[in-house]
Amino acid sequence: MSLQVFLSEQEATNVWQGNLISYGDNSATIHSLEAEAIQMAARKLVANGVSDFELQGDWSLEAQWGFFQGSYDPKVDTQIAYAELVDEDSHELDSRVQVSRWMRSIVNETPEVLAPQVLAEEAAEFIQSLAPEQVSYEIVAGEDLAEAGHIGTWEVGRGSTRPPALLKLVFNPTELDNPTPSAALVGKGITFDSGGYSIKPSTGMLHMKADMGGAATVTGALGLAILRGLDKPVHLYLCCAENLISGHAYKLGDILTYPNGVTVEIQNTDAEGRIVLADGLLLASESGAPTIINAATLTGAAVTALGEDYNAVFALDDDARSDFLTAAQAENERHWPLPLETFHANKCPSNFADTANSRAVKGGGPGGASNAAGFLSRFVRDQGKGWVHLDLAAAYNDSATKKWSAGGTGQGFRSIARQLIG
């Protein structure tokens, strides 16, 4: 039997005074109209063993979205009968739920199932299912990556018996052949990160199946934008690999040479995300897209700075940063700007190459998130005009919180989708 859930602006009375939830016969009332409080209430209901809900009365779009966010759980098949909305809001809610379920399930998937090529294929098939006639794609894998010049993804992934892969997807709703995209999206798709020879401790490795959260986020963003009626061409690049140890794995002291001539000394094999993202950013720059957005679970430094509630935003272009933060605010997703200046590109010096991929100290040293963004800035054109880098500190929780189940959250995909629509 479904639990009927109501909303109320009034505080709970009697013994429930001050509580967020009060209970009746097969019913519960959430005493708030704020989406975040509703999300926490839904999380509490699921944690108490309820999995079947019927939302009754007057619920807004954001209120129902908050309830879905909190009620989602990787171990529970939660069922929700949503309250009535106008058609436009109902479509928006259905779209968000569809995309969020895909994103969170793929982030929570086991690394044994989600090999690099599987991630690339699943993402391509998901986007193609939303617009079959408007999507084309190519997956470059294994040694073909090196031959094509996608040196970063190849080097990081070559230590695994399961080959790395790079997805190149084109969404083209126009009648033109090969139009310049209005935007290009780049996602970090590390399906498991052992740290390589700079190996992580066991506790730090436990949740590294989620190191492909950037790939899931940009894919979900494109999916939501399509469902919202996106009528502009967009390119999607996912750089997918497993960062493992073997006799064929990349090593400290190796020097990589990218197609733009930048040479990189590997000083930390656990700073692999920026190595693969460089491939996608080069492709995004070559596409001519005026807007480039990349997303990655890139640094622990961003998590240390912002905690679990905000994603970090970096840009050399003040207008691009401002536009993205405005979109994030409109979508009720928390993002916060962290420093990025041109000098950050030189914060990882090397005696043997143009730059190192990190500094040979724990966490990359002071300013690690900004230094990582500075490294990425070497691979975007026009001194970073139109480029935004998202370090997804809020994309995953190791354990359940008051708002979220353990696992992926999907935070950030709505903001990117809004940017794509323009």
Identified catalytic residue from 44, 200, 232, 334: 200
3-state secondary structure 83-95: CCCCHHHHHHHHH
> Which residue in the block uniquely carries the two structure tokens 């505080």?
11
3-state secondary structure (DSSP) of residue 232: coil
Identified catalytic residue from 188, 274, 359, 418: 274
User: Among 236, 225, 287, 281, which residue's Cα sits nearest to residue 419?
Assistant: 225
Using CB atoms within 10 Å of the CB of residue 27, give its burial: 0 to 12 exposed, 13 to 18 middle, 19+ buried.
middle
The number of angstroms, rounded, from the C-alpha of 57 to the middle of its chain's C-alpha atoms is: 34
Structure token pair of residue 21: 């939830």
> Which residue in the block uniquely carries the two structure tokens 């963004």?
373
**Could you give the dihedral angle defined by the CA atoms of residues 411, 418, 227 and 219, in that order, rounded to the nearest 10 degrees?**
-50
Q: Identify whether the C-beta of residue 403 lies closer than 8 Å to the C-beta of residue 309.
A: no
Number of neighbouring beta carbons within 10 Å of residue 285: 19
Residue 44 among the catalytic residues: no
Q: Identify whether the C-beta of residue 409 lies closer than 8 Å to the C-beta of residue 397.
A: yes
Q: Which residue type does 80 have?
A: I
Q: How far apart are CA 218 and CA 121, in angstroms?
A: 15
Residue 274 among the catalytic residues: yes
The string over 274-284, giving b where at least 16 C-beta atoms fall within 10 Å of a residue's C-beta and e elsewhere, is bbbbbbbbbbb
Strand partners, 165: 141, 240
The set of catalytic residues is: 200, 274
